[in-house]
């Protein structure tokens, strides 16, 4: 997109449940605003936020986890729709 969105993954957050954050740049205020949060609190050690992506137009945000429940199940992706 135009560079006005920033995605940040934190796969080691909270015993590696992970989180992913999406920020939008507010040029008038000259600061970043949190517009999306994906929390991996349901699955210990799945490392949510290991991979992240923002769609080209900035309307979707994804966070990937390489595993679920400490490698008991294959990974997954969470999709967040930005309003």
Q: What is the pLDDT of residues 59-73, one digit of tens each?
A: 888 999 887 766 677
Assess contact for 22 and 7: CB atoms under 8 A: yes
Q: What is the pLDDT of residues 3-60, one digit of tens each?
A: 689 999 999 888 888 899 999 999 999 999 999 888 876 767 788 899 999 888 888 8
Structure tokens at 66: 């390489």
Higher pLDDT, residue 75 or 52: 52
Please report the pLDDT score of residue 33 as a whole number: 95
**pTM of structure:** 0.80
Question: In the chain, where does DSSP find H-type helix?
Answer: 13-16
């Amino acid at each position: 997109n135009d560079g006005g969105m920033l995605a940040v993954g934190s796969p080691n957050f909270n015993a590696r449940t992970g989180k992913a954050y999406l920020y939008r740049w507010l040029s008038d205020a000259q600061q970043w605003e949190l517009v999306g949060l994906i929390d991996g609190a349901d699955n210990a050690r799945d490392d949510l936020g290991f991979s992240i992506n923002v769609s080209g137009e900035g309307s979707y945000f994804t966070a990937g986890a390489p595993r679920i429940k400490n490698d008991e199940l294959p990974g997954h992706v969470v999709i967040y729709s930005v309003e």
